[in-house]
Structure 1
């Protein structure tokens, strides 16, 4: 399997969860890592 930088997903700047957005694009609505129930306040922030 070849490494493709375009396949790298960004991480939420608040909770660090992999959000499936490219770095620099807004993160998707997601749950804060570790809680499983709480919507992360970092949703919509640019992914890192």
Structure 2
């Protein structure tokens, strides 16, 4: 399932995206292969090194 942002007239819904950060595994609201949004790994207060990297 892809993100709804690619359907004409549909609103972007990151919950419908199925990609995970390649470093920490967090769901990041992107399609596989797209850059991960800036995020923090669960339990961390620092930006994950996977931010901006291609997702899985």
* TM-score, structure 2 normalization: 0.68
* Unaligned ranges ≥5, structure 1: none
* Unaligned ranges ≥5, structure 2: 3-15
* TM-score, structure 1 normalization: 0.77
Larger RCO (CA within 8 A; separation ≥ 6)? 1
Could you tell me which of 39, 42, 47 is aligned with 1:30?
A: 39
Could you tell me how far apart the structure 2 residues matched to 1:39 and 1:8 are? 21
User: Is this contact kept in 2: 1:16–1:33, CA < 8 A?
Assistant: no
More helix by share: 2
